[in-house]
Structure 1
């Protein structure tokens, strides 16, 4: 029976055609990329509520998963907060696997075939991303997109950390931030009366009675397939579909491709709420004693289609003072800063102070390493935070009212008074996401949390953070449950409880 070529082989063949000078470097990076993705997958297998895992049995030599069909899967002890690739192979009964895609295929679980293909793409794209890297200069970047483009490995815990199905090798080099290209955005003209616009849409993106909506070139070629003008040179940020205009705002474009977990379009719902949320966010930031800035949404427009929409946001660099740098939290791991327990504790104190205070007021941020940025002083100390992208926060009208804060006119999924939902949103993104990804291990995370939680103002949310399992999105379960809408969750061992990870 003929077996189709793997994603690794497909990328190698394309690379030989378009960038042959990278072929040997790509091949050399493949084992490390497999281990990186396998480590993320093993975390999911060890901790997510997967219905075909009957039991998890820790032992002296590692962890054994007993599957419902009687098979056993054995690997090392799973640190749910580790960001280094420590899983190089696992054993399914008597067969050893070092390739995450082949492992998932062998598991033969429902909906596993498509997810296995995504894992193959993740490995191949990660190896390609690493192959294009040179050593970081000792001097820190001076421009915002240069910080963003240092995040080569993508999501620190998602097995699909670098999955880009639908992107050719040439397109990955042309559009992937880790390859540091300049991307020319298109502009699609749409009659203004056929669009929903919130905020102030700039005059240089208008043509008489038409709006000129910025579009990503991949979207223009593969999805829209309609006339557009070129001419906006921009630098892709770590999300790929959001780009920085030199000296200007950031542009979030629709990109109807599945990257990591989600198709990156822009809903009409989020465009409709963007101006209200932006104004509301400024009133919240004013209550934070200078510890938090929230980037303003300048304007947003949609042709009443998630495939043709754009959002213009302030650059977080607007909030840097003299000698300061604004760094995405995901990029902190590319510096030496997290290696200092004192610095990590200082950053953890700042992040938890801001996150818990906002949660008490009634807003749970989606504070993962892409949305959350830290302002560093000239000496590298964390002094305040910047948050961007309000599309997936949660707002509690009851908590806002309790603190005398006017409730904005919001509807839909963003509004909830459910305390577990609010806490999952913040703790899953900030603690199990940003702080864990920066710490790099359960031991380092535990040390940072222990150093600061006793000094934080006592709230019921802090009590829950200190005593309950840590929530995190069950990213693999979600990819294996295509018929289940919305987020699904896993519970991780709390570093502050018992021995912890």
Structure 2
């Protein structure tokens, strides 16, 4: 029976045509990429509420899963907070699998075929990313000279999502041209004109992006070619950041473009509602930052526009680098693992104390940040000490009207989906992203995370939110369940063992 070529084979064939010198490096990186994606998948199988897993049993040899159809899946222990380990194989009824796509196909679960294809893309794209990094230029070194160079250091993508590097719809040439980890030359944005009478514009849209009665909307070239299928005017050259769809204009703003591609869990576009609320949210964020004693800055949204379509929209945001003083650096938390700083004695405790203090303070006021390693940045001193935090991208925060009123904070007109007084929803938004994402990813494993949190929380004021963080299981997004449940809208959640419980804090 003829089998279609795998994503690995397709990437290898394309690579031979566009950058053949990278081919041997790509082939050498494939086993490690399979293990990295399999590690993330095994974490999900071990800890997410997947309906076709009936029983989990941990033993000396590892972890055994009993499937609903009677089959057995065996693998090593699964530290839910580990980013440094590597699962090289798991066994389904005694048959070993080292390829996460093949394993998922053999599991034969609902919606598994599509997910298996995404895992294959993730492996191939991750190997390509690692091959590019290994070819030189993305090592730790000294502090970068530009903010986008920090973003280029994050080679492996999301630390826990099996689709950490899945980029369906992107050719190899496009991945090399647009992926920040490939350190591409500046990307030339496309400017598409739209009649101002047909656009929603909020904030201050600059004159250089207007042309008479038209608004000039910056568009990612991939979006222009594959989704909008339109050509436009040449726009500014900008450097792609971690989110791929946001690019840094040297000396100017960060431009968040619509990019209708599924990169990890969701399609990346910009909703009309996000544009409508951008200016209000930005002003609201500034009032919140003023209540953190200078420990948190919120990047401002200068202007936003949509031509009444999530596929044709853009936001102009302030660069986080604006909040660095002389000799200081602003780095995304996701890039900290490349600096060596987390291994310094006491550094991780100091960083955890700063993050938890700020996050819990805002939560008490009534705002839960989506503070994962991409949205959250840290201001580092010249010696590498964590000084302050910077937060970007307000689209997915949660706001409690009751808590705001309790503290005398005026509630602006915010989208309905952002407002909630559900304590559980507020806590899981912050705890899942900050503790289960930013801090866990920086720590690299459960024991290191446990030690840092235990030392940090002792110096924080006790609040009901802190008590919940210390005493209850830790909520995190069930990333694989979400990909296998296309009929369910919105986030789905699981809980992980609380890293603080064993310390009785």
Which bin holds the TM-score, normalised by the shorter protein? Answer: over 0.9
Partners in 2 of 1:149 and 1:78 — Cα distance? 29
Deviations 1:240-274 (A, max 9, x none): 00000001110000001110111110000111111
Partners in 2 of 1:347 and 1:143 — Cα distance? 23
Corresponding position: 1:369 with 2:385:
no
Query: Residues 194-273 of structure 1 correspond to what in structure 2 (within 5 A)?
Result: 194-273=198-277
Match of 1:136 among 132, 139, 145: 139
What's the counterpart of residue 313 of structure 1? Answer: 317
Match of 2:432 among 428, 432, 449: 428
Say if 2:246 and 2:255, in contact at 8 Å, map to a contact too. yes
What's the counterpart of residue 497 of structure 1? Answer: 501
Partners in 2 of 1:227 and 1:220 — Cα distance? 7
Partners in 2 of 1:360 and 1:432 — Cα distance? 19
Query: Residues 66-145 of structure 1 correspond to what in structure 2 (within 5 A)?
Result: 66-133=66-133, 134=136, 136=139, 138-145=141-148
Deviations 1:362-385 (A, max 9, x none): 000000000000000111000000
Deviations 1:168-214 (A, max 9, x none): 00110111111111110000000111000110000110001110000
What's the counterpart of residue 472 of structure 1? Answer: 476
What's the counterpart of residue 24 of structure 2? Answer: 24
Q: CA RMSD in A?
A: 1.0
What's the counterpart of residue 169 of structure 1? Answer: 172
Match of 1:455 among 450, 455, 459: 459
Classify the secondary structure of the residue corresponding to 2:247.
strand
Say if 1:341 and 1:444, in contact at 8 Å, map to a contact too. no
How much has 1:499 moved relative to structure 2? 8.0
Partners in 2 of 1:452 and 1:226 — Cα distance? 52
Partners in 2 of 1:257 and 1:16 — Cα distance? 25
What's the counterpart of residue 382 of structure 1? Answer: 386
Say if 1:341 and 1:448, in contact at 8 Å, map to a contact too. no
Partners in 1 of 2:223 and 2:235 — Cα distance? 16
Q: Which runs of 4+ in 1 moved over 6 A?
A: none
Partners in 1 of 2:319 and 2:79 — Cα distance? 35
What's the counterpart of residue 47 of structure 1? Answer: 47
Partners in 2 of 1:248 and 1:176 — Cα distance? 20
Corresponding position: 1:417 with 2:421:
yes
Say if 1:189 and 1:212, in contact at 8 Å, map to a contact too. yes
Unaligned runs of 5+ in 1: none
Say if 2:140 and 2:339, in contact at 8 Å, map to a contact too. no
> Normalising by structure 2, what TM-score?
0.98
What's the counterpart of residue 395 of structure 2? Answer: 391
Say if 1:373 and 1:385, in contact at 8 Å, map to a contact too. yes
How much has 1:85 moved relative to structure 2? 3.8
How much has 1:139 moved relative to structure 2? 1.5
Partners in 1 of 2:235 and 2:127 — Cα distance? 31
Say if 1:341 and 1:447, in contact at 8 Å, map to a contact too. no
Partners in 1 of 2:48 and 2:41 — Cα distance? 10
